[in-house]
Amino acid sequence: MSNAELNELKQKYVAAGAASPATAFADRAENAEIWDADGNRFIDFAGGIGVLNVGHRHPKVVAAVKAQLDKVMHTCQTVMPYEGYVKVAEKLSHLVPVRGHAKVMLANSGAEALENAVKIARAATGRSNVICFDGGYHGRTFYTMAMNGKVAPYQTDFGPMPGTVFRAPYPVPYHGVSEDEAIRGLKMTLKTDANPKDTAAIVLEPVLGEGGFYPASKSFLEKIREICDEHGMLMIIDEVQSGFGRTGKMFAIEHSGVEPDMMTMAKSMADGMPISAIVGTDKVMDASGPNSLGGTYTGSPTACAAALAVMEVFEEENILEKSRTLGEKLAARFGEWQTKFDCIDNVRNMGAMAAFELVSNKTDRTPNAELAAALCKKAREEGLILLSCGMYGNTIRFLMPVTIEDSVLNEGLDIIESCLESLV
């Protein structure tokens, strides 16, 4: 079917809140390129929102999924378990830098991972409260919506959010929130809203995802660890977007050396197959009773096969080094743009998790969300899929596959530069 025919069906049958505004429909993809239903080619700088760090349809992952389809597609691991689930758990327990011996629960999505992390934290501590941060994003289920540090569009129209979720400032010095102010705000939250004796966990992203690609400093993460230890609260690190090589290490928290009690991950874990994980210290993970955790499709055989293949690809193709190299290339080009364009400021990257701000005025750092939207729109018209994000909607983020070819990368960056020249 053509794009036009598919758009007609979309308008008629897909709920407005779930319908994409894009009018081109993906037909096939390879590494960092997508072709739509009409045969038009796009360079993918979004990667399914950070899902495709090893590229669209990596051959090793495709082969693993096909092989699994010839064996078992589904049994529900709580009814009859299978090798893939326990092998993924074993691999992750050795990769994830939590305190002590790690145990694993697999789930379907990032939001489901966060929901279960909160459940486990409550069981382990006997407490209810959770503290999250401004700008954080944790999902679209009801509890994770409450955890999100941004109202629109995630909480709009859905009525009251669940209680026992409290907020603290996230340090973004560029926008006037220093690390000291963020820690002071967290301590004030513990004094005024969330009694430490009733607080199960502090949950945060080591690099804000939807909130703008702002990394937390090593010292800030160390202070969160200290505060959790002081009050007997658990430290839960959300690596749904920053994990699996995006930042030049397998997980962003590794840049700090801090060991959390639990971590959540999803997205690039299985190259597009739906899977997520909660990994934590064994005593914490074993806190809830029999049959208290799980789901019909959690850690499906095909998704586990894909995840195991992805972890092999990381070892065989040195994906972490490729991420660091890609980040260096992006940083160099961003630096050129920051000098060339008055609208570009605060260029930054942690490995290949890279971004810059679009501003109306560099002196007072006035966010320019309109320009960000216009850039993404024009880039799409020129054959480049590009995403914005951030509390102010003015951050341009880069989530292309780490495996992107240099020629495709440079072609995409040239499109951005050309679009900026025409817009400003």
The dihedral through the CA atoms of 321, 86, 62, 31 has a sign that is negative
- Torsion, Cα of 323, 328, 334, 340 (10° steps): -160
* Beta bridge pairs of residue 363: none
351 secondary structure, DSSP code: T
Residue 151 has what pLDDT?
A: 79
- Cα dist. 191→163, 194, 199 in Å? 17, 7, 12
**pLDDT tens-digit map of 359-381:** 999 999 999 999 999 999 999 99
Two tokens, residue 219: 């010292």
199 φ, ψ (degrees, to nearest 5): -105, 120
- Assign 349 to helix, strand or coil: strand
Two tokens, residue 79: 């009814």
The dihedral through the CA atoms of 228, 233, 235, 240 has a sign that is negative
Residue 297 has what pLDDT?
A: 97
12 contacts: CB under 8 Å, gap ≥ 6: none
Q: How far apart are CA 199 and CA 126, in angstroms?
A: 9
- Per-residue pLDDT averaged across 186-197, rounded? 97
Residue 60 has what pLDDT?
A: 98
Q: How far apart are CA 279 and CA 113, in angstroms?
A: 9
Least confident interval from 20-34, 103-117, 150-164, 279-293 = 150-164
End-to-end CA distance of the chain: 37
Residue 368 has what pLDDT?
A: 98
202 φ, ψ (degrees, to nearest 5): -110, 125
- CA atoms within 13 Å, Cβ hemisphere of 369: 6
Between strands 234-238 and 262-265, the pairing is parallel
Per-residue pLDDT band at 146 (split at 50, 70, 90): very high
Per-residue pLDDT band at 150 (split at 50, 70, 90): confident
pLDDT above 90 for 324: yes
Domains of the chain: 3-57+318-423 (3.90.1150.10), 72-317 (3.40.640.10)
- Assign 291 to helix, strand or coil: coil
The answer to whether the CB of 259 falls within 8 A of the CB of 236 is: no
- Assign 379 to helix, strand or coil: helix
The dihedral through the CA atoms of 61, 66, 72, 75 has a sign that is positive
- Per-residue pLDDT averaged across 170-185, rounded? 98
Residue 349 has what pLDDT?
A: 98
Neighbour-count burial for 171-188, b at 16+ CB within 10 Å, e otherwise:
bbeebebebeebbebbee
Two tokens, residue 175: 């926008």
> Which run of H or E residues covers position 225?
helix 218-231
**pLDDT tens-digit map of 120-133:** 999 999 999 999 99
pLDDT above 90 for 154: no
Residue 153 has what pLDDT?
A: 84
Residue 95 has what pLDDT?
A: 97
The answer to whether the CB of 42 falls within 8 A of the CB of 30 is: no
Q: Among residues of the chain, what percentage have pLDDT more than 70?
A: 100
- Of 276, 105, 116, the closest CA to residue 201 belongs to 116
The answer to whether the CB of 277 falls within 8 A of the CB of 266 is: yes
Q: Where are the alpha helices (DSSP H) in 318-403?
A: 319-340, 369-381
Q: How far apart are CA 20 and CA 191, in angstroms?
A: 43
Residue 152 has what pLDDT?
A: 79
Residue 194 has what pLDDT?
A: 97
Per-residue pLDDT band at 403 (split at 50, 70, 90): very high
- Please give the sequence-ordered ranges of beta strands (E in DSSP) within 14-107, or none if there are none: 26-30, 33-36, 41-44, 102-107
Residue 172 has what pLDDT?
A: 98
- Assign 301 to helix, strand or coil: helix
Q: Which amino acid is at 314?
A: F
**pLDDT tens-digit map of 232-262:** 999 999 999 999 999 999 999 999 999 999 9
Two tokens, residue 280: 């934590």
Per-residue pLDDT band at 411 (split at 50, 70, 90): very high
- Assign 410 to helix, strand or coil: helix
**pLDDT tens-digit map of 282-315:** 999 999 999 999 999 999 999 999 999 999 999 9
